[in-house]
Amino acid sequence: MRKNLIIVLLGMLFAVASCSFTNKSFDTTNDKDKLLIEIIAYMLEKGHYAPKDINDDFSVTVFEEFIDVLDPTKRYFLESDIKEFEKYKYQIDDQIKNTDISFFDLVHKRLKKRMEEVSVIYKDILSKPFDYDVSETINIDYEDQIFATSRKDLKERWRKQLKYATIATYDNKLTDKEKPLSKKEAEEAAREVTKTTLDDFFDFVNNELDREDWFGQYINTVVEGFDPHTYYFAPDDKDKFDTSMSGKFEGIGAKLQKKKDQVKIVEVISGGPVWRDQTIEVGDEIVKVGQKPDEEPVDIRGMQLNDAIKLIKGPKGSVVYLTMKKVDGSIEVVKIIRDLVEMEESYAKTATVVKDNHKYGIINLPKFYVDFKDYSKRNAASDVAKEIERLKKEGMEGLVLDLRDNGGGSLRTVVEMAGLFIKNGPIVQVKSSSGTDEKEVHEDKDERIQWDGPLVLLVNELSASASEILAAAMQDYKRGVVIGSKQTFGKGTVQNVWSLSNIVRSNEHGDLGALKVTTQKFYRINGGSTQLEGVKSDIVVPDKYSYIDLGERDQHNPLAWDKISPANYNVWDGYIDYKQTISNSVKRMSTNSQLKLIEENAKWLKEQQEENVVSLSYGDYKMEKEKLIEKSKYFKGIFDYKTNLSFESLDYEKELFVKDSILKQKRERWHKDLSRDVYVEEALSVLKDLKINNIKNNTKIAAIKG
């Protein structure tokens, strides 16, 4: 379940707007918490695309989710606490309507009390040695566990959790090549490391988090009951949102998501420190954060995401040491030099490649960027148009548009970009309310076609929002072939961000933050929604995430898939023989050893994620670790793949290399990655098939005219 989503901006189609739908007067004599509840409840009712009835069912959802936010691993509250809280289970809806926050107050006070008790428990447990020879296990799938029935039960739960937390450190101390410790010394050192980490964590909670932070969690439990992209930003969080939208990211260059007690990488920002390091990838979990090599890192599991980010971020040039739990389960410490990631690396970049005596172009588009204050400035559509013209001058015979990991961006930009490949017609349909049949059709009205030749679009599970609009439009027009994962992300909604301070006529409480609300839903021109189902690839290629839950369907409370009436459009009057092209591709892929290895890796990663029972015996730990290392080595062969293809920058960019050696380095790195990319290799083969179909079609047309 998705929780505490502050910096996850996976491909929103967004608009920043002032709220003009209300003249309602709010009771500003209320304290700030009650005023926030009143404003937000009203805005959700009046402004959300599909407002929900705030009733008993909604109350149950908020009740369960708030408890889960505060204690996802069930290591604080007792079963008796939950029973006491349950008197509010069907009353939260009434409390929201009456700006009553007694449920929050009770749960918050109880959490503080239980955390004080636990701070005594963990110190007592860590004062005694662990026996790593005993055969016992821990189940780390907390979702189906019940809460502890007694303090004795809770202490035993903590004992196992702490032993689990120390076993890796124990192993590291025993096997340190420079200064290995004895078993006794290693065991003592492991406990001390874990104690220091927990001391730091509880000190942070007690001294850095105030009631306002916890209340923000409660508000977001309420608003996320509407859908996963509706979110309340406290004043500081709104500043971070604005900074991220400006195209500058200071820190490690990655976007994070909190899921249960895990902080996971959900996007690697092109050109950033993590991107340059090449070690960390989407799906990896950050377990600990260290500021110096000789200091024990802070365990961030269980922290609020915003607080974990404070530890991870830092000034340009400073170093952070991240203890990563890789997708395959292995543990690795990665040194990252923080930097400022500029928008430049989010711009389109282009290369050419020759395959079987045919020249092709590839344009990589990380996002659909735009300057919202001045659309006439640089944007994704105009940039791609320029790159296509340059490629045509160099003799391009087919184009690959790489939308993998593209989280989306501007709606206007994607409509204009789709128009580069068709004469004119509708691109996407938008509805502003789930209760009406009214829709708005966004069309390309420019009859010019920038590229009328063979077109392939590369997508994956992280291609979202605007990426899905473009891929869906090209698929519906039968204009291009979509190659990639079984389906794209599945985000078919649009958000607006409203300043809450602008809603209140007179406010003595200062900045109230902002509310991001889902206000629209978009649909393909064939009438189907991309929500949940995304865009299904014409040619499905396995990747490492094939069996792992990603995308909108893995979010909490997503809006449903539905369909509306189709727009009026005509399919591409061209050359694409889908059936034969797909048949040829499937035949090629069936004998490709690289794709078989990727498929095998994807199944293994799924098995690893489903393994929730872990042994606390050191002998078993070592055995499993060795198996993991061997398996990881086996799958490293995926990165050794070579296509024997050579990619080159366009002439204008080569001239820039003379003055910009960093740009040259970035492009050389990209070209090297492309030369090992089996998906690009297959895309070029598909372009060749489309080219042949085009020649055959033109021959038929010429014969008919003759």
**556-599 confidence digits (pLDDT tens):** 899 999 999 999 999 998 767 788 899 999 999 999 999 999 99
Task: Find residue 430's DSSP bridge partners.
Answer: 440, 522
For the entire predicted model, the pTM comes to: 0.83
> Two tokens at 610?
């489903």
DSSP 75: -
β-partners of residue 373 are: none
Q: Tell me which residue has tokens 């580069």.
A: 420
pLDDT (0 to 100) of residue 258: 75
The Cα diameter of the chain in Å comes to 93
Beta carbons of 450 and 474 less than 8 angstroms apart: no
Q: Cα-Cα-Cα-Cα dihedral of 444, 378, 523, 243, to 10°?
A: -160
Token pair 């090992």 is at which residue? 676
3-class DSSP state of 126: coil
Distance CA 601, CA 328 (A): 9
Residue identified by tokens 């994956």 is 460
Question: Which residues does 696 contact at the CB level (< 8 Å), separation at least 6?
Answer: 575
Q: Residue 2: what pLDDT?
A: 35
Question: Would you state the pLDDT for residue 260?
Answer: 66
pLDDT tens sequence across 156-205: 999 999 999 999 999 989 998 888 999 999 999 999 999 998 998 898 88
Calculate the dihedral angle through the C-alpha atoms of 231, 236, 242, 244, rounding to the nearest 10 degrees. -90
Partners of 520 in beta bridges: 494
Residue 435 has pLDDT above 80, yes or no: no
SS3 assignment, position 356:
coil
- pLDDT tier for residue 499 given thresholds of 50, 70 and 90: confident
State how far the alpha carbon of 170 is from the alpha carbons of 81, 188, 333, 520, 628, in Å.
35, 8, 16, 52, 18
Contacts of 567 (CB under 8 A, 6+ apart): 426, 429, 441, 525, 526, 527
Whole-number Å distance between alpha carbons of 618 and 186: 12
Contact 253, 271 (CB under 8 A): yes
Please write down the HEC assignment for all residues of 392-406. Answer: HHCCCCCEEEECCCC
Band (pLDDT 50/70/90 cuts) for residue 332 is: confident
Mean pLDDT in residue range 431-448: 89
CB count in 10 Å sphere of residue 180: 12
Strand partners, 256: 265
Whether residue 429 has pLDDT greater than 50: yes
Task: Give the model's pLDDT for residue 352.
Answer: 98
Distance between CA atoms of residues 663 and 502, nearest Å: 43
CA nearest to 491, candidates 478, 472, 507, 477: 472
> Hey, CA dihedral for 30, 34, 38, 43, is it positive or negative?
positive
SS3 per-residue string spanning 16-57: ECCCCCCCCCCCCCCCHHHHHHHHHHHHHHHHCCCCCCCCHH
Distance between terminal CA atoms of the chain?
64
d(CA 378, CA 371): 7
Helices 151-175 and 102-125: crossing angle, nearest 10°?
50
- pLDDT digits over 86-119, tens only? 999 999 999 999 999 999 999 999 999 999 999 9
Distance CA 246, CA 101 (A): 36
Report d(CA 379, CA 467) in Å as an integer. Answer: 15
Distance, CA of 537 to CA of 468 (rounded, Å): 11
Contact 605, 547 (CB under 8 A): yes
Gyration radius of the chain over CA positions: 27
Task: Tally helices (H) and strands (E) across the chain.
Answer: 20, 24
Residue bearing tokens 């606390």: 616
Query: How is residue 370 written in tokens?
Result: 């735009």
Would you place residue 144 in the very low, low, confident or very high pLDDT band (cuts 50, 70, 90)?
confident
Residue 143 pLDDT grade (very low, low, confident, very high; cuts 50, 70, 90): confident
| Per-residue pLDDT, 705 | 43
- pLDDT beyond 50 at 27: yes
pLDDT at 667 over 60: yes
**Confidence class of residue 6 from pLDDT cuts 50, 70 and 90?**
very low
Cα separations in angstroms, 473 against 223, 400, 449, 477, 582: 32, 16, 15, 6, 19
Distance CA 170, CA 297 (A): 15
Q: How confident is the model at residue 18 (pLDDT cuts 50, 70, 90)?
A: very low
Instruction: Tell me what the mean pLDDT of segment 129-143 comes to.
Output: 94
Strands 481-484 and 539-540: parallel
The model's confidence at residue 25, banded by pLDDT at 50, 70 and 90, is low
Which amino acid, one-letter code, is at 29?
T
Evaluate if residue 271 carries a pLDDT over 80.
Answer: no
CA distance 264 to 257: 5
